[in-house]
Amino acid sequence: MDFALSDDQELLQRSARDFLNKECAPSFVREVTRSDDGFARGLHEKMAAMGWSGLIVPERFGGLDLSLLDLALLNEEMGRTVTPGPFFSSAVLATLTLLRSNAAALQKAWLPKLASGSAIGSLALLEESDRLDAIGVTLRCTKNRRGYRLNGTKMFVLDAHVADFMLVAGRCRAAAQDGIVLLLVPRDTPGIEIKPLLDIDQTRRPCEVAFRDVELPEAALAAGEGRAWKVLSRVMDAAAIILAADSLGGAQKALEMSVEYSKVREQFGRPIGSFQAVKHICAEMVSDIEPARSLVWYAAYAFDHEPRQAARAASMAKARLSDVYSRTTNRAVQIHGGIGFTWEHDMHLWFKRAKWNEVAFGDATHHRERLAQLSAF
């Protein structure tokens, strides 16, 4: 029994923090979010060069073969620095989906590229209904002699506009879960139309993706009927945990910024941090964040090592961090007063990311109900 990070993990944390402080300062984040595609290829390549993109990819595909906990720690640091770009969609969603699929040829073709950062992948799951369950997948997939044909529209596909391929959930049969397949679709396949959406969180770039008679070969199948939904369920758990980690890092940063500001901003002839109303808010942030950190570590650990607890733990972490991050940034804005409400001040970057993280892959209400079901209340 040992509930602590290893020396290597602490090293990973420290070096990630140093790197991101240097390479991904708020001024840089703003610059990237002002650009059309919101994608800093240079940063992405540097992160890939350090092995981050292939963190959980097996060595035979050019990765470091580390655990989800390592990936969570890394994402915690990215949450601290509200890092923009397709890391989450590519190194987490697409990578995990391919890893869990049983398509050896696709893995061989794409995992090394994802790991080296030379290709970007994404996951196309949600549709207009915004449902996270199997029924939400309605994109029509018809099987023919040559392969598959897709018709329909996907929504909120992260980074589709810069991705080289998408893993697309489509429906072959009516059976809610078993009728779903996962297909790997290169972005330049004819019949695909990508329209970027605009989110208040400019560090995230969701897209609307229309599929009109998109023809795919047999070999595009990443996970077939009966299996695809199982893969997706695992990936959604991992996504929930990784977003919880991102939220943890962001909440910690918002707390630190608040404390720092409260020590220098003076009103009534004294630092506002000497007012108990302000102090107690900060103390509550700490007592929200510290137990939540333990929960995130546990969820990431359980994902790899306690399969029977993994889904419960993921829901617990996501529900808790959805609440904690939003509450923390809300209060952090208040502690900053008027300046905290301006575009010029950085705090809104975290405030908005908190809101995006809160909803993506299931909000707190969704995950509490799921926990209730998994725990057989």
- Residues 6+ away with beta carbon under 8 Å from 60: none
CB of residue 159 vs another protein: minimum separation in angstroms?
30
Helix (H) or strand (E) run with residue 194 in it? strand 192-196
CB of residue 263 vs another protein: minimum separation in angstroms?
7
Give me 140's structure tokens: 């029509």
Are 243 and 360 within 8 A, CB to CB? yes
Sign of CA dihedral 25, 259, 359, 56: positive
CB of residue 35 vs another protein: minimum separation in angstroms?
36
CB of residue 317 vs another protein: minimum separation in angstroms?
9
CB of residue 371 vs another protein: minimum separation in angstroms?
5
- Nearest to residue 51, comparing CAs of 42, 62, 40, 41? 62
What does the binding site for another protein look like in residue numbers (CB under 8 A)?
1-6, 9, 69, 259, 262-263, 270-271, 273-274, 276, 278-280, 282-284, 286-287, 290-295, 297-298, 301, 305-306, 316, 319-320, 365, 368-369, 371-372, 375, 377
CB of residue 234 vs another protein: minimum separation in angstroms?
20
Per DSSP bridges, beta strands 180-186 and 165-171 are: antiparallel
- Residues 6+ away with beta carbon under 8 Å from 21: 81
Nearer CB in complex with another protein: 107/322: 322
Distance CA 105, CA 219 (A): 8
Nearer CB in complex with another protein: 90/252: 252
End-to-end CA distance of the chain: 29
Nearer CB in complex with another protein: 60/263: 263
Give me 60's structure tokens: 């035979």
Nearer CB in complex with another protein: 185/272: 272
Residue corresponding to tokens 């240097």: 22
Nearer CB in complex with another protein: 220/295: 295
Nearer CB in complex with another protein: 6/35: 6
